[in-house]
């Protein structure tokens, strides 16, 4: 019995790319905990010291996100045709959850961004079609960029990452139009937070970053007017729910995954200080990004509810409360 689906994933073979990352690792444990007889193949590039020109790591995959995982772990690059061929020949997948991507929006290497996010996705999609495996992949709210309408069809990306995700969605539409035998679902994640995001370093959510600032005794720094900077923050459990429901959609397509309720950065700090029982006050600093900064994001989730049966379960208050023990554990063991 499972709360998200009637599908029995036991004895199914599941590929998760980017499985040592934030969302991929949470998916791996979801299947391990609920379907002990599923074969879970966790594919990830894992980190090394390589960095992009912006100084950030090329891969955030971290073994610590998979501590306790007992499925198959494969280290590989989704751009490596031989690695994909090997997956294609070694397994017959029933479901593919494609989370691997260059997800850093500040990466300037457009060539590698397109190769990794767009071209490798199509290679993987061809395997899915060959194996008759339903495809669920990570799109992104970054596709909306400068748009003020957060609905499919109003994408206006303002960086190479957002552009690459629009191109992934376009590839999906192309195959959906061809009436392939599998379902293909793209999920546009909004601002996700929760356990196993810590190793994304500076790209992890402000929930964990503010949490650790507060525990350090620092005063959280907010941009001026941050009570009016609103985002659709979504807890990891709701992201997992959407992925599982996307395995048997009423209709293939691309869907927003958020809560449908925008909240402020101010709210995050207030809830954290309340839950941590620490009040370090707040400091307001000028926003250096005015002009290139999203002041508001809020997912329209009507079609997501309709075609995936998705219903956000977790409010920001509940999500942060659930996350607190992990924020404290990370602070004690990882924050230097």
Active site residues: 161, 200
| Residues written for the chain | 336
Nearest to 161, CA basis, from 109, 95, 217: 109
Q: How far apart are CA 26 and CA 187, in angstroms?
A: 16
Helix (H, G, I), strand (E, B) or coil at 289: coil
Q: How far apart are CA 65 and CA 199, in angstroms?
A: 8
CA angle 242, 318, 149 (to 5 degrees): 50
Helix (H, G, I), strand (E, B) or coil at 97: strand
Is there a contact between 59 and 47 (Cβ–Cβ < 8 Å)? yes
Q: How far apart are CA 83 and CA 89, in angstroms?
A: 10
Nearest to 326, CA basis, from 223, 220, 203, 237: 237
Q: How far apart are CA 18 and CA 66, in angstroms?
A: 11
Cβ neighbours of residue 49 under 8 Å, at least 6 residues apart? 57
Q: How far apart are CA 208 and CA 327, in angstroms?
A: 6
Backbone angles phi, psi at 261, to 5 degrees: -130, 115
Backbone angles phi, psi at 244, to 5 degrees: -70, -40
Neighbour tally for 175: CB within 10 Å: 18
Tokens linked to 234: 């979504």
Sole residue written with tokens 């995050």? 268
């Amino acid at each position: 019995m499972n709360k998200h689906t009637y599908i029995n994933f036991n004895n199914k073979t599941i590929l998760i790319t980017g499985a040592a990352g934030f969302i991929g690792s949470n998916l791996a444990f979801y299947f391990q905990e609920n379907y002990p007889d599923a074969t879970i193949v966790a594919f990830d590039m894992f980190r090394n010291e390589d960095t992009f020109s912006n100084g950030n790591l090329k891969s955030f995959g971290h073994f610590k996100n998979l501590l306790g995982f007992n499925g198959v772990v494969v280290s590989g690059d989704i751009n490596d045709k031989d690695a994909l061929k090997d997956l294609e020949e070694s397994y017959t997948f029933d479901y593919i959850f494609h989370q691997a991507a260059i997800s850093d929006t500040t990466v300037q290497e457009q060539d590698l961004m397109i190769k990794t996010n767009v071209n490798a996705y199509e290679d993987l999609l061809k395997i899915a079609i060959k194996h008759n495996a339903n495809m669920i992949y990570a799109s992104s709210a970054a596709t909306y960029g400068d748009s003020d309408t957060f609905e499919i069809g109003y994408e206006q990306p303002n960086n190479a990452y957002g552009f690459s995700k629009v191109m992934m969605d376009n590839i999906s539409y192309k195959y959906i139009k061809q009436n392939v035998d599998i379902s293909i679902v793209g999920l546009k994640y909004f601002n996700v937070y929760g356990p196993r995001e810590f190793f994304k370093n500076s790209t992890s959510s402000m929930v964990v970053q503010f949490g650790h600032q507060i525990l350090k005794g620092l005063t959280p720094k907010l941009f001026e007017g941050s009570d009016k900077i609103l985002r659709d923050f979504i807890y990891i459990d709701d992201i997992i729910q959407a992925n599982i429901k996307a395995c048997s959609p009423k209709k293939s397509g691309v869907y927003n995954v958020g809560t449908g309720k925008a909240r402020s950065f101010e709210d995050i700090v207030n809830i954290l200080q309340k839950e941590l029982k620490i009040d370090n006050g707040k400091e307001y600093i000028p926003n250096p990004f005015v002009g290139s900064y999203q002041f508001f994001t809020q997912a329209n989730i009507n079609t997501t509810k309709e075609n995936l049966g998705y219903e956000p379960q977790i409010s920001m208050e509940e999500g942060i409360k659930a996350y607190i023990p992990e924020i404290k554990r990370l602070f004690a063991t990882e924050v230097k």
